[in-house]
Structure 1
Amino acid sequence: MPLQIIPLRRPFYVQWLGLGLILITLGTVITFNLYFEHERTAVREHDRLSTQARVIAENTEYQLTSANLALENVRSNLAYWKDDAGQQAAIRHLKAASIIPGIRTMNIVDKEGTITASTRAELIGMNIGFRDYFQEVKQHPNADMLYVSPPFETIDGIFVINVIRMIAGEQGEFAGIVSATLDPEYFKTLMMSVQYASSMWVALIHSDGLVFLTIPDERENMEGVNLRHPDSFFTRHQSSGKKEQVFTNIMYATKEHGMLALRTIYPADLKMDKPLVVAVNRDSDSIFQSWRQHILAQGTFFGVIVLASTIGLFLHQHRQRNLEKEAAQARTLVDRFSFALDRIPTYIFMKDQQRRYIYANRSMLELFKCSAEELAGSSDSRFFPPETVARLYETDIRVLRHGEDTAEKVTCKGKDGHLRIYWEIKTPIYENDKKTSICGLCGISTDITELELLKEKLEQQARQDYLTGLFNRRFFMEQGNAELMRAQRYHHTLSSLMLDIDNFKKINDRHGHQAGDTVLKRLADVMRKMLRTVDIIGRIGGEEFAVLLPETDLQKATEVAERLREEVACTAVTLETGMALYFKVSIGVASLKDKDTDLNTLLNQADKALYQAKENGRNRVCLA
C-alpha cells in the first residue's frame, strides 16, 4: 500500500530536520523492538530453564521420598531377620523394596561395616567400613536423619550416590545402616527428557559441590568435579539460601557463557543431612542466535531506508524547480521504502486521526486477506470482533490523544475465531516539527503466539505424568486438597479409590518394561473412559493410581470401583509379538466420614483397603 507524498516548497534545513526526525523515530521503534525482543528471549529462556529444573527436582524429590520409604520399611523389619532363614527373607524383602524406579542396589550393613544382606549377592560379606558415607553416619548417628552421601566411584567404576538410614541398637546407639544406591541411568533418562535443545546440558550436584551426573554424554567429564569455588554460580546459589535461581554469565566449570538455572532439592517432609542441586544450562550463543539474525535484518533494513531517504531528499532538493518531475522521483523513493517494509517479517501499519488505516505493509495485507485499495479507509471493526476492537481502541486513544509510545502484549481474536497473541509497539505521527498536532500513528506488531503456546505447554507438562497423561502426584494432591475442602465446607460426600495393577512386576519381567508402560497407559485410558470429568485421577506411584469421586458415597463408590475392575479385566494390550495381554487390578475404597479428616488420611484408608484386596487374592474390590 504506497504512501502518498505531496511535494512542498520548504527551506532545505526544515526538510532535512523532518527526515532526521522520521529516521530517529523509525530507528527508535526498531531499537525498542529489538530491545524488547531480546528481553522476551531472555525471559522465555529463563522460564523454560526454570521449568525444566523444577520438573527434574520434583521427580528427584519423589524418588528420594520413595527410597526413604523403602529404607524405613526394611529397617522396621530387621528384628524378624536375625537367624539364617531370616537373612534370606531379608534379601527377598530388599529385592522387593528395590523395584522402585531409580534404585540400583539396597544393602543392610552391620556396625562393623560388613554387608549382611544385599540385592546383589556378590556384595554380601564385603566390608565397606572405610567408606566415607559409612563413617559419616557412624560418627554422627541420628535415627531420624536421611543421609545423602557425596558421589563416589563404585568397584564397577560408576559414580553413584547412596541414601542411608541408621540402624539403632536397643539403647539408640549406632548398630549399622540400611542403604539404597541411586541408579545413574534412571536419572540420566529423567534429565534427557527435559533436554529440548542440543546446546543444553543438565547436571545433578551434591550440596558438597561434587557433580554426580551430567548429560549429554560429552559432558560426562564433569562427573566428580567439585564446584564449591568462590566464583562459581553453585557457591553463590548455596550461599543465597534460595530454592531456585537463574544466572547468566561465564560458567566456572566449563568456561562457557550461558544461562544456568539452579534448583535445590530438599523435600519438605524429609529430614536430609544434605540436599541435592539440579543445574540446567544453555549456551548464550544458541539462545540469542535468532535475535542476532533479526538485528542484522532490521539493521540492513534501516540502513537501506537511511540511504534511500537521504538520496531521495538530496535529489528532491536538487530538482525542486521542476515540481512534477521531483514529485515523480519522490514517489519512486517512497515506493522503494514501501518495498523494503514489505520484506520485513513483522506487521507494519499506519492510521490517521480517525483510526482508519492509511498504510500497511505486505505482511499486514496478507494477514487481513485484502488489497491495499480495499484496506484504505477501513477501521478495526472490519477485521476484528467487538471485544478486540474495544481493546485496540483504548491503546490507539492513548497514542493519538496523549502522544504516548506504547509497547504491550495484545491478544486478538480474528473473524475466523482463532486466538493470536502479538507484541505491539505504537508511536504517534506529528503534523509538524514542533509536535503540536498528532495526525496519526505508526505501529509495528510481531506474532508471539507460538513464544506463548510453548510456555503454556511446558507448564502443562509440569502438571501431568509424563507416561499416562494423568495428573502427577503433586498436582493430584493439590486438586485433591481443594476438593476435600469443598466437600467439608458444603457437607458433600467424597470417596477415594486406590488402584494397583496385579502382578505388574511379572509383566515387566516376562514381557519387558515397554509392555509394562503400554499396560499403564491402557489402564489410564480405561479410567478416563469409565470415570466422570469431575473425578480427579492421578498416578501416584509406579503402577499405583488414585481417584477422588466428588459427591459420591461409599456404596456408589464401590459400584464405580467394581465396574472399573470388570472393565479392566476385559481389556487387552496387544504386544509387539501380536499376543493379547490381559491384566487385572485390585481396588481399595474409602469414603469421607469425619469433617477433620485430611486427604492423606483418606488416601491411606483406601490404601489399606487395597492392601486387603491384595491379601485376599487380588482382582477384587475391598472397602476401608
Structure 2
Amino acid sequence: MSDSSQSPPNGKALWSGLVLLLLGLAAALGLDLYAEYRTAYAHERAHLDRVARTVELNLSRSLQTTSDALDAIREELPWLLSQQIEHQDPQLLNRRLRTMVVAQKGVRSLLLVDAAGRLVASSRPEQVGQDVRNGERYQTISRSHNPALLHVLAPAMSPLKTYVMSVGRVLLDSQGRFDGYLLAVLDPGYFSVLLDSVRYAPDMHGALIHQDGQVVFRLSDPQGLTELDLRTQPDALYWQHVRSGQAHSLIEGVTPTTGQEVLVAFRSIRPTSTPADKALAVFFSRDRSALLAPWRKELAIRSALFASMALVASAGLFIYQRRRAAYVRLLAIRESDREQAEAQLRDSERRFRDLFVHLPVAYQSLDIAGCWLDANQRMADLLGFKSPQEMIGLDFSRFWCEDLHRPFDGAYEQFKANHTIDGAITQRQRDGRLINVLFAGRIQRDAQGNFLRTHCVLLDISERRAMEQHVLQLNAELESKVEARTAALAQANQELHHQARHDALTGLANRMAANERLRSEFLLLQRSQRPYAVLLLDIDHFKQVNDSLGHEAGDKVLQDVAQRLRATLRESDFLARWGGEEFLVLLPATDRTEARLVAEKLRLAVEQAPDPVAGRITLSIGVAAANPEQLSENDAVRLADLLLYGAKNAGRNRVHAGA
C-alpha cells in the first residue's frame, strides 16, 4: 500500500470545512429563532386583541341592558308615581328600583332625581332627599334634551367613598322641558370579575377608561392608577388609540406612568343599539420583557447547545487528526513486517480464495485496524460496491450506523480479546441506506498468537426487520382506529344526551330536562329552605297563527318568543319549552313578588316586539311559588298551570300570581 493512499487529509481544508459548517448551522439557527420570535409575537398580539374583544362584547351588552332597564323604568314612572300616591306608599318606587337592581347584572344602585336636583327615589332608600344640583352628573344631564341618548358619565366619588361610574337617561315633561333624570350607578366589582376572568398572565394589566381620559377601573393596580386623569398626560398610549379614530387598535410603546415597554390592545365600548354621548375604552397590556421571556430562554438554551456542539466537533476533529497521523506512522514502521507477513499468508489465502468466493453469504476479512483485506462479491453487493476490489483498504467502521460507529474501537478491541463475535448490527450501504445484518466473526492468529486478520460472514435480514416494523405499524394503526372509534362513540352519546333534553325547534331545554331541573330545585328547597318560583307561559291565540299563516309562520313565532324570553331572563334562570306553545321558567332564590315582576317583564318584552308576519304577540302567564310544605315538585307546576288558565279566562295578555 503506497504512502500517498495513507496520508492524512489536509488539516486546513478540514478546519475550513468545519468552520463553514458551523457558520451554516448558526445561520439556520438564527433564522429559525427569528421565525419563532415573529410567530410568538404575532400570536400574543392576536391573543391580547381577542381578550379585549371579549370584554368589549360583555360590557357593550351590559351597557345596553342597563339602558333598556332605564327605558323600562322611565315608561313605568308615571304609573308608579300615581300608585305611590294612591296607596300612600312612599316606598313603592324605592322597592321597584331595588327589584330592578336585583335583576340587572353589574348595577349597584338606581336612583331618580327631579328637575330641582333632589334625589326623590333610590334602590338605596338612605340616599333619598339628597341635593345633587351641584354634582357634575346633574350639570351634564340637565343640559340634555335628547331622551333617546344614554349619558355615559365620567367616574366620580360616591357617598360610600368608592370610585364609581354611572349612566343616565333624561326625563322631559309634556312640553319637552327638563324634568329630572334616572341614573344607574355601575358596580366596580362587576368590572373586577370581568377583567380578572380573562387575565392569563401575571404581568398582564387591564383597565377601563372613560372617553374623557379618566381611569374608571384598573386590574392589578399596584401603582394606584385608578382615578388617574389621563388628560394630564398627553403622551399616554390611550391618546394614540383615540387619535387613530379606530374602534380597536394594537399599540406598542412606553407607558409614562410606569416607564415599561408594553404591547397594548385597546377596544372602544358603546351600547349595542342605543346611542351614547360618550364611549368607554378597555385596554389590556403585557410587558414586552415578560412576553418574550420564553423566547429568550429558548435562545439561551439553543445558543448553549450550539456552543457545546461546536466545542465537541472541534475536539473531535483535533483527536481524529492526531489518531490518523499516529496510524500512518504505525503503518510506516510496520511496512517491512507487513511484507514478510503477507508472504507467509499468501499460500493460505490462496487456499481460502475459492471457498469465500463461492460462499452463499457475504464474507469479509479485516486487518488489525478494521480495514478491509478481502471480501467476496456477495459482500460487495451487500454494501453497494461493484466489485470487492473497490473495498480493499477502506475502513469497515465507516459503513456502520452512527450509533455503532462511535463505540467501534472499543467493540473491535473486545472482539480481538474474545476471538469471536456474533449478533445483529445495522450497517450503512455505500449510498447511505441502512440495512440490518446478522454478523459472525472469528480471529485468525499465527503460531505465536499474533493477530493476523478477522474472518466475518454477514447475512442481510433487512426484509425480516422491515416486516417486523410493518407488523408493529399495523398494530399501532389498529389501536389508533380503535381509539378514534371510541372517541366518536363518546361524542355520539353526548350528542344523543343533548338531543334528548333539548327542543329541536327552539333550542331550549325540553320537558324531560325541565322535570329534572324541577326535581333538583325541589330537593334543594327541602334541604336549605331556599325558595323558588315557577312560571308557565302560553302564547295567546297561537292556533289562529297556525291556521291563518301556516305552521312555518307558527314555528317562526315560537323561535322568536323563545329568543326574546331567553334574552330577558338572567343567566341563573331556567327556561324550557313545556309543550306546544307553552314555556316554563324556573326562577331560583325568588319569591312570588319578585317572580311576578319578572313575569311582567317577560310579558312586556314579547308584547313590545311584534312579529313581522304574525303581528302583535302576547302571553298569558301563571306564577306560583314553591314552599317546603308541598309534597312534590309538581305541586308548584300544577298551581302555575291553574293560574295560567285563570289569566286566559280573564282576557289573556296578563299575569296571574294568585293570592
**TM-score calculated relative to the size of structure 1:** 0.60
**Matched residues in 2 for 1:152 and 1:232: separation?**
21
Match of residue 310, structure 2, among 301, 306, 309: 306
**Matched residues in 2 for 1:353 and 1:167: separation?**
93
**Matched residues in 1 for 2:432 and 2:64: separation?**
61
For residues 480-491 of structure 1, what are the structure 2 equivalents within 5 Å? none
Amino acid at match of 2:99: A
Match of residue 568, structure 1, among 517, 529, 539: 517
Match of residue 531, structure 1, among 486, 501, 508: 501
Task: Specify the alignment match of 1:75 in structure 2.
Answer: 74
Structure 2 SS opposite 1:46: helix
| 1:208 positional shift | 1.1
| 1:232 positional shift | 2.2
**Matched residues in 2 for 1:383 and 1:239: separation?**
66
| 1:230 positional shift | 3.9
Deviations 1:202-242 (A, max 9, x none): 211111111111122535x1111123444322111122222
Q: Which runs of 5+ in 1 are unaligned?
A: 1-6, 340-350, 359-372, 387-412, 420-526, 538-545, 548-559
Match of residue 97, structure 1, among 91, 95, 100: 100
For residues 269-418 of structure 1, what are the structure 2 equivalents within 5 Å? 269-321=273-325, 322=327, 416=480
**Matched residues in 1 for 2:280 and 2:519: separation?**
44
Deviations 1:7-48 (A, max 9, x none): 995444432343233223322332233223222322332233
Task: Specify the alignment match of 1:516 in structure 2.
Answer: none
Check the 8 A contact 1:312/1:329 in 2, yes or no: no
Alignment of 1:204 with 2:208, yes or no, is: yes
**Matched residues in 2 for 1:616 and 1:583: separation?**
11
Deviations 1:306-349 (A, max 9, x none): 12222333443455433669999999xx889999xxxxxxxxxx
Alignment of 1:603 with 2:563, yes or no, is: yes
Match of residue 186, structure 2, among 178, 182, 185: 182
Compare relative contact order (CA 8 Å, sep 6+) and give the higher one, 1 or 2.
1
Match of residue 230, structure 2, among 224, 227, 232: 227
| 1:580 positional shift | 7.3
Task: Specify the alignment match of 1:218 in structure 2.
Answer: 222
Task: Specify the alignment match of 1:523 in structure 2.
Answer: none
Deviations 1:283-313 (A, max 9, x none): 2232222222211111011011112222333
| 1:566 positional shift | 3.8
Task: Specify the alignment match of 1:556 in structure 2.
Answer: none
Check the 8 A contact 2:253/2:262 in 1, yes or no: yes
Amino acid at match of 1:18: G
Check the 8 A contact 2:216/2:227 in 1, yes or no: yes
Inter-CA distance 579–224: structure 2 relative to 1 (3 Å threshold):
closer
Q: Which runs of 5+ in 2 are unaligned?
A: 1-5, 329-368, 372-394, 408-427, 436-460, 484-496, 540-550, 566-582, 584-601, 608-617, 626-636, 654-659
| 1:533 positional shift | 8.4
Task: Specify the alignment match of 2:196 in structure 1.
Answer: 192
Task: Specify the alignment match of 2:152 in structure 1.
Answer: 148
Amino acid at match of 2:30: T
Structure 2 SS opposite 1:43: helix
Inter-CA distance 602–189: structure 2 relative to 1 (3 Å threshold):
closer
Alignment of 1:49 with 2:64, yes or no, is: no
Structure 2 SS opposite 1:292: helix
Check the 8 A contact 1:80/1:86 in 2, yes or no: no
For residues 431-450 of structure 1, what are the structure 2 equivalents within 5 Å? none
Amino acid at match of 2:228: V
Say which structure is richer in helix.
2
Inter-CA distance 258–11: structure 2 relative to 1 (3 Å threshold):
same
| 1:142 positional shift | 1.2
| 1:111 positional shift | 1.3
**Matched residues in 2 for 1:265 and 1:153: separation?**
22
Structure 2 SS opposite 1:77: helix
Report the number of matched residues.
Answer: 438
Inter-CA distance 354–175: structure 2 relative to 1 (3 Å threshold):
farther
Inter-CA distance 262–599: structure 2 relative to 1 (3 Å threshold):
farther
Task: Specify the alignment match of 2:25 in structure 1.
Answer: 26
Inter-CA distance 119–336: structure 2 relative to 1 (3 Å threshold):
farther
Check the 8 A contact 2:525/2:531 in 1, yes or no: no
Check the 8 A contact 2:536/2:622 in 1, yes or no: no
**Matched residues in 1 for 2:311 and 2:192: separation?**
55
Amino acid at match of 2:118: T
**Matched residues in 1 for 2:60 and 2:472: separation?**
48
Match of residue 139, structure 2, among 106, 113, 135: 135
| 1:129 positional shift | 1.5
Structure 2 SS opposite 1:104: strand
Match of residue 127, structure 2, among 123, 127, 132: 123
Amino acid at match of 1:586: L
| 1:75 positional shift | 0.7
**Matched residues in 2 for 1:260 and 1:284: separation?**
10
Seq. identity, %: 22
| 1:122 positional shift | 1.9
CA RMSD in angstroms, aligned pairs only: 4.6
**Matched residues in 2 for 1:15 and 1:21: separation?**
10
**TM-score calculated relative to the size of structure 2:** 0.57
Inter-CA distance 47–171: structure 2 relative to 1 (3 Å threshold):
same
Inter-CA distance 182–378: structure 2 relative to 1 (3 Å threshold):
farther
Structure 1 SS opposite 2:32: helix
**Matched residues in 2 for 1:383 and 1:158: separation?**
72
Structure number with bigger Rg: 2
| 1:617 positional shift | 4.2
Amino acid at match of 2:553: K
Check the 8 A contact 1:261/1:281 in 2, yes or no: yes
Check the 8 A contact 1:571/1:582 in 2, yes or no: no
Check the 8 A contact 1:312/1:330 in 2, yes or no: no
Deviations 1:250-285 (A, max 9, x none): 223322222222111123312111111111122223
| 1:162 positional shift | 0.7
Alignment of 1:37 with 2:36, yes or no, is: yes
